[in-house]
Amino acid sequence: QVIRLEDYRPTDFAVHHVDLVFRLGSETTEIEARLTLERRAGTDPAAPLVLDGDDLTLTGVWLGDEALAPPRFDATPDRLTLRELPAAGRFQVTIATRLDPAGNTQLMGLYRSGGVWCTQCEAEGFRRITYFLDRPDVLATYRVRVEADRAAAPVLLSNGNPQDAGDLGGGRHFAVWDDPHPKPSYLFALVAGDLDVLTDRFVTASGRDVALAIYTETGLSARAAYAMDALKRSMRWDEARFGREYDLDIFNIVAISDFNMGAMENKGLNVFNHKYVLLDPDTATDGDYAGVETVIAHEYFHNWTGNRITCRDWFQLCLKEGLTVYRDQEFSADERSAAVKRIASVHGLKAQQFPEDQGPLQHPVRPTRYREINNFYTATVYEKGAELVRMIATILGAERFRAGMDLYFARHDGDAATMEDFLACFEEAGGIDLSQFALWYHQAGTPTLTVRERFEDGRLTLGLEQDLQRGAAGTGTQPMHIPVRFGLVSEGGADLVAEPAAGGAEIDGDVIHLTTPSAEIVFEGLAERPLVSVLRGFSAPVTLRFEQRQEDRLRLARLDPDAFSRWRALTDLVGEHLRNASIARAAGESAAFDARIVDAIIASAEDERLEPALRAQMIAMPGEAEIARLVGQNVDPEAVHEAREAALTTLARRGEATFARVHEAPAATGPFSPDAAAVGRRALRNALLLPLSIASGSPDLAHAAFAASDNMTDRLAALTLLAHRFATEARTRSALDAFFERYERDALVIDKWFTLQATAPVPEAVEAAERLIGHPLFQLANPNRARAVIGGLATGNQRAFNRADGAGYRWVADQLVALDRLNPQTAARLATAFRSWRSFEPRRQSLAMEALRSLAARPDLSRDLADIVERTLA
Ligand code: ARG
Ligand code: ZN
């Protein structure tokens, strides 16, 4: 069944207030929900109340104090219909349900994770707790009473402020929570269990004293210290940058080990995958620190962009997600290095969103139909959605963008809003028409931006052309508003100021506004031919085609004043070589790696003008999946692998002396610190390990690094290199075993141990993955563990997943069938690994298709997995 945007209409009934009682028991949980309802003005006074359910067991229904019996109501596991309700005024309906949280392996609704009761309600999990108008435009206040055994659950939490608590005798106790902010049901949360806590406090700009708490499994609260620090920095930043203050007296975070996604922004009670809370230098990498900072900020920022202003319907998901990702990206850019952060974001966008937007799972940022909303928590909605907000900021400029945000907060606080509401605020505050820009939300696909340059007699002519092909989503292909940030760079590496001649596209400072299918811009009076630096900061999510002279690109890679553009110039050159070399190899030929490009990479490794983190990003080769995307069609993953290996070998031999010099430069001393400078230094040293090990052909350097490491970043970098390149050596096995023994009891580190083996770029990784799922510590029901092994192979190991005999496809499909029975949402997410199947050579295509078809043919697939499989095949 397909849900369509055009079918949206408000509910007949409003829910003003929800009173919930949870009686948590070791076997079952009893729930009573008393809803205060009222018919909305102008609706049919005889219309029945139809509530959503999912897999529910009803134990009673009351209207006021009167117990109802059929035919006054009608109940199935997924619907409760009530008839003959009052035509006017407020009335109360009470619904009793019974659940088995321990048996809830879907991890949606109320479930138990490691003995802890917890909830996940977005998008449609609340209907697995009680019958409700489970949609984001039904906003109510909530009062929640939780009862449980004190021994099993000394901690009882829900949204809002604590109101009451006490003893019930017989080892039972209770707590009452009150949330004064009207909210949709997807923001409801409850947590109960035996948890440790780390507390702190924050005083808001206007003086509100907020009690902060992060709850963890017992014994782990010390590992929440960095998350707490990130939370306080996020709260301060949102005040300074967007004028947004926190609005309750308490803010709680709970870290849970079984969680489908990263985290959830429930009002006043954020629930997190513990991966995004728990850290210390001995168990977490620098990447994990960055992830915690980002996700803590993201969920906190949702309090305004998501909670106080929520979505009218799920088609508007990007309203809260794209905007909140934009906000967390800006936060990270301010807290760390803006250029490093931007490169990481663009890298992620190209690796995740571009393939999605260019394959069968393509959809617009604001979709108009879906079968299963959980399958739309995608890179397109989140990351491309964030790029669209970034473009609005580029088009309006910082000041008018802030004015638009202020207007949005002022006008829509308390609303369930739409994308159109959001855009209208920027049109008004910016005095600008965004109707063409809005096409970005409706037209799926990655536009191509073609740039041409011509220089004669002091005149530079830039030709710009945009093109959007119709793709799987079948949406329009009209020209869009593409902001192109640019610079004209002198021989000496300075930005030139040149006045554009009249006509052509509109130019505002350093931004060209391309709004037509093509445009020409002429710059006059130039003494020398400038180097053209376009799409600075990746000012629009497009594929850039610019037939620029090789010398110009090499020079820009060395001296573009814009750090992001230097990185882009170099990685584009490397990417192009790897693309060509992969195509050549597939045809049995070879392609030489231009020595000038190789030298540019080597030079960047010791370029003191660049911060170390940037140098690390400049010397990292694009991964195999990225190269496959650049090849685009008829991909032979073996040829890609060999081409990349050959390039690495060339780089390693030619750069060995330089890399060794940089690597041996005394590392900064002092204890571990997660600050950006220290992270950069570690990143650079670890990036050098690979070429240095290839050059020497020996694992000695990696073994030495593994032995000497005093933090997880260095330890994991060394161990991964050993497992991926020196897998057959006995010493590698001992290192893996030593690592396992040391961290056996540490779930998050053991996930890494599983992942690094599943991602070894060898065809036999399929058999290795099969052995890993037989390991006593493998648990299919734990999403992090399932992702570590199945996701490791399917999305982190192009060579093995796309093995020539189809064993990778078949193995993943088999695991998806097993996982789907437990957790459809996680199975569907992992199944998206098949999204690029049509870009491979014909033999692999038919093997992938067979695996997909065998999945599609199963009668018992969940709606989640069936939706992904069918769209991927379509
Ligand atoms: N709103 C959450 C976040 O972006 C994600 C929750 C997604 N949950 C789901 N079941 N799809 O922070
Ligand atoms: Zn979010």
* Separation of alpha carbons 639 and 579, rounded Å: 10
295 CB within 6 A, ligand 1: no
Q: Tell me which residue has its CA closest to atom 2 in ligand 1.
A: 264
123 CB within 6 A, ligand 1: yes
297 CB within 6 A, ligand 1: no
* Separation of alpha carbons 281 and 679, rounded Å: 12
Distance of CA 195 to the CA centre of its chain: 28
* Separation of alpha carbons 256 and 273, rounded Å: 5
Q: Which of 635, 699, 567, 702 is nearest to 844 (CA)?
A: 635
Ordered alpha helix ranges (H), 57-209: none
Q: Tell me which residue has its CA closest to atom 5 in ligand 1.
A: 264
Phi, psi (degrees; rounded to nearest 5) at 796 = -110, 10
864 CB within 6 A, ligand 1: no
* Residue 76 pLDDT: 98
CB 289 within 8 A of CB 679: yes
Q: Which atom of ligand 1 is nearest to the CA of 108?
A: 10
Active site residues: 299
Distance 376 CA to ligand 2 centre (A): 12
- 């008829």: which residue's tokens? 634
CB 688 within 8 A of CB 620: no
Q: Is 869 exposed, middle or buried (0-12, 13-18, 19+ CB in 10 A)?
A: buried
Pocket test for ligand 1, best of 54, 111, 261, 376 (most atoms within 8 A of CB): 261
Q: Is the dihedral of CA 577, 582, 585, 589 positive or negative?
A: negative
* Residue 670 pLDDT: 75
> 3-state class of 862 per DSSP?
coil
Tokens of 352: 């995740």
Distance 153 CA to ligand 1 centre (A): 26
* Residue 798 pLDDT: 98
Q: What stretch of H or E contains 192?
A: strand 190-193
Length of the chain: 874
CB 612 within 8 A of CB 684: yes
Please, which residues have CB within 8 angstroms of residue 392's CB and are 6 or more apart in sequence? Answer: 401, 404, 426, 434, 437
* ipTM of the complex as predicted: 0.98
Q: Which atom of ligand 1 is nearest to the CA of 125?
A: 10
* Residue 669 pLDDT: 65
Q: Tell me which residue has its CA closest to atom 11 in ligand 1.
A: 374
* Residue 504 pLDDT: 83
* Separation of alpha carbons 378 and 649, rounded Å: 36
Pocket test for ligand 1, best of 377, 383, 863 (most atoms within 8 A of CB): 377
Q: Which residues pair with 20 in a beta bridge?
A: 33, 144
Q: Which atom of ligand 1 is nearest to the CA of 298?
A: 12
289 CB within 6 A, ligand 1: no
Distance 379 CA to ligand 1 centre (A): 12
Taking 3-state DSSP, the helix, strand and coil percentages for the chain, each rounded to the nearest 5, stand at: 45, 25, 30
Closest ligand, as measured to the CA of 126: 1
Distance of CA 299 to the CA centre of its chain: 12
* Residue 225 pLDDT: 98
573 CB within 6 A, ligand 1: no
Give the orientation angle of helix 317-335 with respect to helix 225-242, to 10 degrees: 100
Phi, psi (degrees; rounded to nearest 5) at 151 = -65, -45
383 CB within 6 A, ligand 1: no
* Separation of alpha carbons 235 and 212, rounded Å: 11
> 3-state class of 846 per DSSP?
helix
Give the orientation angle of helix 225-242 with respect to helix 398-412, to 10 degrees: 100
Q: Which of 667, 666, 674 is nearest to 711 (CA)?
A: 674
The DSSP code for 106 is T
Pocket test for ligand 1, best of 264, 832, 868 (most atoms within 8 A of CB): 264
Other beta carbons less than 10 A from residue 764's beta carbon:
13
Distance 719 CA to ligand 1 centre (A): 32
CA separation (Å) from 188 to 109, 120, 264, 400? 10, 8, 10, 35
Mark 809-834 as b/e (b = at least 16 C-beta within 10 Å): bbbbbbbbeebbebbbbbbbbbbbbb
Q: Which residues pair with 654 in a beta bridge?
A: none
> 3-state class of 202 per DSSP?
strand
CB 805 within 8 A of CB 763: no
CB 635 within 8 A of CB 628: yes
122 CB within 6 A, ligand 1: yes
pLDDT mean for each 10 residues of the chain (874 residues): 97 98 96 98 97 98 98 98 97 98 98 97 99 99 98 98 98 98 99 98 98 98 98 99 98 98 99 98 98 98 99 99 99 96 98 98 98 98 99 98 98 98 98 98 98 96 98 98 97 90 88 97 94 98 97 96 96 98 97 98 96 96 98 98 98 98 81 92 97 98 97 98 97 98 98 98 98 98 98 98 98 98 98 98 98 98 98 97
Distance 364 CA to ligand 2 centre (A): 18
Distance 265 CA to ligand 2 centre (A): 7
